[in-house]
Amino acid sequence: MTIHFSNILTYNYFKSVDHERKVFVDGFLLQLALFLVTYKWFNKKSGLNFHQSIDQSAHFYLLGSTIEKNINGYNLPFWNEIGDITIDKELLDKISSHNRIVLGISSPKQDYLAEMLNEHFPEKSYYCLGAAVYTKPVILSEWMLVTLGTMLVSNPKRTLKKIGTSLIPFFKAITFDRKRIIEFSTYLNTDYQRTF
């Protein structure tokens, strides 16, 4: 199963799949775009909060860069585009003995990689958490302004860059991509009980 915490940069990635998947809204601009197009308010489910709530030592991490020494993980190569992603024997060997895999690379690359890995090991759970694995929260909250504040304190340069790159996809979503936003809304999981 793949579990995605999606933002405005990833809505266009999702298509119908034949395996179990949970997709949550994790970003105010995606939440707002969904509301402006579907007239429904989808609750936010923070990947940052989720990451803080799990037993990190029980998960295996696939990362773009290293984090704390007590985290069991593997550094992935840098892929410029989704089409560059490859799965080799070394990667499959690294995750073969772990059941819960956390992905900490940018979206939608992590979403694509998780679903590729799911084809090899469908019995495992893949959590697409991106920058949440590198962020030390100031305050845990589902309120966007608190999450944004935490991200700005933790990594201001990356956060401001992400806001800048999110504005064009937001305007595209509410104008030219309205059909895709409606389709994406059908993939969203609205059950916020922790079942995974």
In the chain, where the domains are located: 2-185
- Statement: residue 17 has pLDDT above 70: no
The CA distance from 138 to 146, in Å, is 9
3-state DSSP assignment of residue 73? strand
Could you tell me the pLDDT band of residue 192, with boundaries at 50, 70 and 90? very low
3-state DSSP assignment of residue 28? helix
pLDDT at 173: 95
- Statement: residue 170 has pLDDT above 90: yes
pLDDT at 137: 63
CB 104 within 8 A of CB 5: no
The CA distance from 1 to 127, in Å, is 9
pLDDT at 93: 95
